[in-house]
Copies of this chain bind each other. A is one copy, B any other.
Amino acid sequence: MTELTLVQAVNRGLQEAMRSDPDVVVLGEDVGVNGGVFRATEGLLKEFGADRVLDTPLSETGIVGSAIGMALYGLKPVAEIQFLDFIYPAFDQIVSELAKMRYRSGGQFPCHVVVRAPYGGGIKGGLYHSQSTEAYFCHTAGLKVVIPSTPADAKGLLLSAVADEDPVIFLEPKRIYRSVTGEVPDGDQRVPFGVARTVRPGHDVSVFAYGAMVPVATEAAAGVEAEGISAEVIDLRSLVPLDEAAVLASVAKTGRAVVVHEAARFCGFGAEVAALLAERAFFSLKAPIARVTGYDTPFPYALENVYLPDNGRVAAAIRATAQAG
C-alpha cells in the first residue's frame, strides 16, 4: 500500500502495466519529454524509452487511428488525449473503428486499446477544458467506459483496462487529480469492471454518482444525516458495463433515487440510470427520480460554480426526494 494522489495512481498504473507487459506502449501529445500536461506519464519515457512512450504530432485522429493499428498488430497501446474536450478529431476513429472493429469482423480483429483522457470541470478551464461527455461513449455499442473517483480505483481500473481485450475509454476526473489522496495497493492489483462501489450505506435515498461528483455527493449525504436522512452513496465507476444489479438493489431498498453528474442533463448518463429504474425498479419507487447535473448550456468559464452540481444542490435534491410521495 502506498499513499498516492489520483494522478499519481494513474502514473503508477501505467508504470506497472508497462513493466509487466512489453506490448504496452503509451502515445499522445506531450506524454514523453514533458511527462504529460498533468504529469500522468511522468518518468515513463525515462524508464521505458522513446520506442514505448511516443510524443505524437498534434492529431487526435492520428493518435487513435495509429493506436488501433498497433492493437491490430498485437500491441496494447494506451493513448492519451490531453483533455476529453479534444477527443473529437478522433471521434470517427473511436465510434466508427475502435467500437466496431471486433463486431464487424465477426471477432477476427479485436481492438485492445485504452484511450485515457482527463475530463470534467472545477479547474476554471472554460468550455474546452471542462466537459463531461461520457454519454457519447456510453451510447456507442462496443466501448467500455470507466471513471475512477479514488486513487485505488484509478490504478486498479486502469490495470483492468490495459488487460481488457476490448476498447476502454478511461476518463480521469482532473479536478480531483491532486485533491484526493488514498492508499493504493502495490503491484498488479486490478479492480474489475462492472462492479459499483458503495461509498456510504444508507436506507432512505440512493445517490448515484461517479468521478468528481462522488466526493460532492458523499459530503451532501453526510450533511443531511443530521436532518435524519440516511442516504446511500454509490460510485458507479464502471459506466459500461454498468452494475445494474447494484443500482436496482439499492433502490429496491430505498425506493428513492438521486443521480448526480457534471454533464448536461438532457440525454446525459443520468437519464439512463433513471430509465433503468423506471423500467425495472418501478414498483419499488416511492418518489420521482431526481437528476442533479450540469445545465443544458455549454460549459461556462466565469460561472463554472453555478453550472457544476455542488453540495447545496445535491443536498436539496436528497431532501426533496426523501420527503416526496
Contacts and interface: CB of A to CB of B under 8 A. Distances in A.
Contacts of A136: 136, 139
A74 interface: no
Given A133-B139, A278-B288, A267 B267 contact: yes
Interface in A270-320: 270-272, 274-275, 277-280, 282-283, 285, 287-291, 295-298
List the number of copies, as a whole number.
Answer: 2
Contacts of A263: 139
A273 to B, nearest CB: 8
A109 interface: no
A128 interface: yes
A179 to B, nearest CB: 27
A283 B325 CA distance: 8
Interface residues of A, number: 50
Contact of A141 (B140, B291, B297): B297
Interface in A84-113: 85, 88-89, 91-92, 95-96, 99-100, 103-104
Interface in A119-163: 127-128, 133, 135-136, 138-142
A240 B269 contact: no
B135 A267 contact: yes
Contacts of A104: 127, 298
A267 B269 CA distance: 6
A127 B105 CA distance: 11
A10 to B, nearest CB: 25
Contacts of A103: 127, 297-298
A184 interface: no
B290 A279 contact: yes
Nearest to A301: B104
A158 to B, nearest CB: 23
B240 A266 contact: yes
Interface in A228-272: 240, 263-264, 266-272
28 contacts: A88-B92, A88-B95, A88-B96, A91-B92, A100-B127, A100-B298, A104-B127, A104-B298, A133-B139, A136-B136, A138-B266, A140-B264, A141-B295, A141-B296, A141-B298, A142-B297, A267-B269, A270-B275, A271-B274, A274-B279, A275-B275, A275-B278, A278-B289, A279-B289, A279-B291, A282-B287, A282-B288, A282-B289
Interface of A: 85, 88-89, 91-92, 95-96, 99-100, 103-104, 127-128, 133, 135-136, 138-142, 240, 263-264, 266-272, 274-275, 277-280, 282-283, 285, 287-291, 295-298, 325
